[in-house]
Structure 1
Amino acid sequence: MDKIMKFIQEKLTPIANFLGQQRHFSAMQKGIMTTLSFILVSAIFMIIANPPVTPELVEQGGFWSIFSGWLNFATAHKETILIPFNMTMGMISVIAAFAIAYHLANSYKMSALNTGLTSLILFLIAAAPSNYYQLADETTLTAIDTTYLGAPGLFTAILVGLFSVEITRFCQSKNLTIKMPDSIPPFLSDIFGALVPLLINIFVFFGGNLIIGLFDSNLTIPSLIEKILSAPISGINSVPGALLICFLILFFWCVGVHGMMVVMPLTTPITIAAFAENAELFANGQDPIFQPIFMTIAIALLGGTGNTLSFVLLCLKAESKQLKAFGKVSIVPSIFRVSEPVIFGAPIIFNPILMIPFILGGLLTAVLFWLASTMGLLTPFYILITGTFPIFVNSFTKSLDYRYIIFEIVMGVILLIVWYPFFKVYDRQLLAKEKESEIQEPVE
């Protein structure tokens, strides 16, 4: 263990330090961490809207009947309950586009507020351009597509946040701005100074969408990015293929792309067909069979994508104040398999120290799940349910096999071992920064 920690310290810490100091990566990390409070609030309402039971289970009575009130309330008011979720997690890329540009502009000593707002508007132009729709009563509705305002548009938000600042900075360095007299108040000068860079930025991103639309009217900048990223996994349905899909889901998350959203158009039909086939086998008195696509479900059994619950549990015992506080606020979402607070809050995104156990732990779970299923130690899934079901309950309700509880406990212990050396190195880094910050604080 000491050798592993020494290797991480010597090989990965310099990379992490470089990324932390490099202004673009630093802006990405700070911008994405800005979204954490919104993600935590969204997780609460997602949990409320998705009780850990199905109507069929409640009808069976017994233990499950205690959830009947919650289920009835959530079913009747789900759309209303999810409004805060839709306006927080559903707008996370909008927030990130502003925050990333804001922090990058700050590092350049530029007007952070104007630059952040410019990035936000550009992201909306690129990801959610407004359209006009003729309704049945002959009135016209102006609406925007919200598909990429949430996590699926995060990679686009990162690109817009970074490039818009650099375009504005280029305009300022080449004097492509409106200069105002020195007698004009600074905030007015900033407003007029931002006009020309804003127009050029609009030409770049709006023009980019128009050019893409000439080749395919159904594509925009974010949908093109999504299409390019999903191309390598097209047509793959085998154990090696499922492992590749799992890797890409995990890797995409590490670089700010909603990995599951990228692969979902390809995996969803296969997953539904696999559940349907197994349900038919079970109904006919036969045993369900293992399907490789189920491995993509296994990477999210313990704490959401990446199986990050073990890391959160370690954070509860962290020495650094940051990780300890992070562990406390992330434990409930992790139990309900909501991983965004961990991915964005730790953060795992663009953090080479935590990216490795995130990917490694997810793949290890997928492999062990495959082995346990093919050896007859676990019943393959055959009940298709969706929602933020908590650990143990989620896998049990998909299979009605209590052995999944044992499997998840064992996996949790294994993942504690996987995460531990990386956690310790990161915890010591944060602790050292906290002590340095305390030393530098002026004594009153």
Structure 2
Amino acid sequence: MEKVMGILERILLPVADKLNNNRYLTALRDGFMVALPLIIFGSIFVVIANFPFLDQLLTEEAFTTYQNALNPASAATLSIMGLFVIVGIGYKLVEQYQLDAVYGGVVALAAFLILTPQVVEDVSGVIPTASIGAEGMFLGILTAFISAELYRFFVQKNWTIKMPDGVPGAVSRSFSALIPITLTLFVFLVIRIIFSYTPFDTVQNFIYSVIQQPLTALGSGLPATIIAVLLIQIFWFFGLHGQIIINSVFDPIWYALNDENLQAFQSGSELPNIVTKQFIDTFLVGMGGSGMTLSVIILIFVIGKSRQLKELGKLGAPAGIFNVNEPIIFGLPIIMNPLIIIPWLVAPVVITIITYFAMATGIVPKPAGIIVPWTTPPILGGFLATGNAWQGAVLQAFNLMVVCLIWWPFLKILDKNYYENEEPS
């Protein structure tokens, strides 16, 4: 066991350290965090607009009026979430270079809009929401990275307009950003013109056909999801925040899949994807945190004899209900603890497989694309994430019991070890 852990440590720690400190992955992660409050706001109103049994309590006309009144909340946030992510990424990336970050955000947005066709069914001057939603997410991320780097390059080359000392700061900064922004946006205008002479016609068509569709198909499959979940657990075992590291890579895929489900859910169509952002956040992380450690807390209260575990259970339970599990990760401990590596790695994989096939067979509805806050307690989270379906809540409860069974013998050994080493009270 120690030899295996040593090999894993030598291989994974350097990789994890590089990923954790990569400026682009950091900007990507922080860019999504900028958009998160808006996404949650829209998700709340999707839940309210589709409250269970409301369509049976109201007349068809009243229910339609009710939904039409609430739909702008999600249309102005979830449906165009790509725009907020683009601004966030551009802002956060330029901020890392200690430059005026707000211009990084606006130049990223403007560059993306230059590339975006503003025609819908021969009507010009309008932007299709698909281009700034799921289909446009990958292009938006690439555009934000490239535009922020171009802006940074031009600024650091001092290709700027210097204003006299007496000019107000806001005016001086605007003129200083003028040339870097102009050159950056000109590059994207040239890119748009070039693509108009290709068979793809637009950059969106090229990105979606050549890059996004294959990656999305890969990320939506069970094998890739199992690998992602395993890596999260392994990184955490070595004391690294696996969720942040892996989500930085997979979030663009999972959010795009999530948005496709949301659009289908709102239109009453069949949901296309099983694996989405909420598949991960609600049915894995949303059950006590990474590793579903709410089950560990429940087990502590059921079988725990040692004072150490009993006190840990009391300390970790309030936070664990809201999916915060640092007390368990550092108090059990989970990090570098060979006694629990097997359930720590096996349980999430088993739950991933159970959840996937429960949804694939139709026993449980697929995630409806509603972004449920990650602090939502289990059972309620499953109910909301599946579009107010009771089956989602039952699946979470079932999964918690499965995790308890997997952890039972290992926690029993750990508790016995602690108990035998404690002095009599």
The TM-score bracket by the shorter chain reads 0.5 to 0.7
After TM superposition, the structure 1 = structure 2 runs for residues 248-327 of structure 1, keeping only pairs within 5 Å, are 254-257=250-253, 258-260=255-257, 296-297=273-274, 299=275, 304-306=278-280, 308-315=282-289
Task: Give the deviation of 1:244 after TM superposition.
Answer: 6.3
Q: Does 1:96 align with 2:93?
A: no
The count of aligned residue pairs is 332
State the TM-score, normalized to the length of structure 1: 0.57
Q: Is the Cα contact below 8 Å between 1:52 and 1:390 reproduced in 2?
A: no
Alignment of 1:3-402 (within 5 A): 12=12, 15-53=15-53, 58=56, 68-69=57-58, 74-127=63-116, 129-131=117-119, 142-216=125-199, 219-229=201-211, 232=214, 243=222, 254-257=250-253, 258-260=255-257, 296-297=273-274, 299=275, 304-306=278-280, 308-315=282-289, 328=322, 360=349, 364-365=353-354, 368-369=357-358, 391=382
Residue identity opposite 1:48 in structure 2: I
Q: Offset at 1:188?
A: 2.2
User: Which one is further off, 154-163 or 35-44?
Assistant: 154-163
- Deviation (angstroms), 1:117: 1.4
Q: 1:27 to 1:8 in 2, by over 3 A?
A: farther
Partner letter of residue 78 of structure 1?
Q
CA contact (8 A) 1:100 1:158 kept: yes
Q: Is the 8 A contact 2:30 2:89 kept in 1?
A: yes
Shift of 1:126: 2.2
Query: What residue in structure 1 maps to residue 340 of structure 2?
Result: none
**RCO (CA 8 Å, sep 6+): is it higher in 1 or 2?**
1
Contact between 1:311 and 1:416, CA under 8 Å: does it hold in 2? no
User: What SS is found at the alignment partner of 1:314?
Assistant: coil
Counterparts in 2 of 1:225 and 1:363: CA distance versus 1, 3 Å: farther
Deviation at 1:83, TM superposition (A): 0.7
Give the distance between the partners of 1:359 and 1:213, measured in 2 at CA: 46
SS at match of 1:175: coil
Partners of 2:179 and 2:166 in 1: how far apart? 21
Cα RMSD for the two superposed structures: 5.4
Q: Is there any run of 5+ residues in structure 1 with no aligned partner, and where?
A: 59-67, 136-140, 276-292, 331-355, 374-379, 420-444
Code of the aligned partner of 1:223:
N
Deviation at 1:37, TM superposition (A): 1.0
2:375 aligns to what?
A: none
Equivalent-residue separation in structure 2 for 1:392 and 1:24 (angstroms): 35
Indicate if the aligned counterparts of 1:226 and 1:262 stay in contact, CA closer than 8 A: no
1-structure distance, mates of 2:59, 2:369: 14
After superposition, the Cα gap between the structure-2 partners of 1:307 and 1:2, relative to the gap in structure 1 and judged at 3 Å, is farther
Report the CA distance between 1:120 and its aligned residue: 1.7
In the alignment, the residues of structure 1 paired with residue 129 and residue 363 of structure 2 have an alpha-carbon distance, to the nearest angstrom, of 32
Task: Give, as a single letter, the amino acid of the residue that structure 1 aligns with 2:203.
Answer: I
Which letter does structure 1 place at the counterpart of 2:68? E
Please give the per-residue CA displacement for 1:35-69, whole angstroms capped at 9, x wherever unaligned. 111111111001112233596xx5xxxxxxxxx24
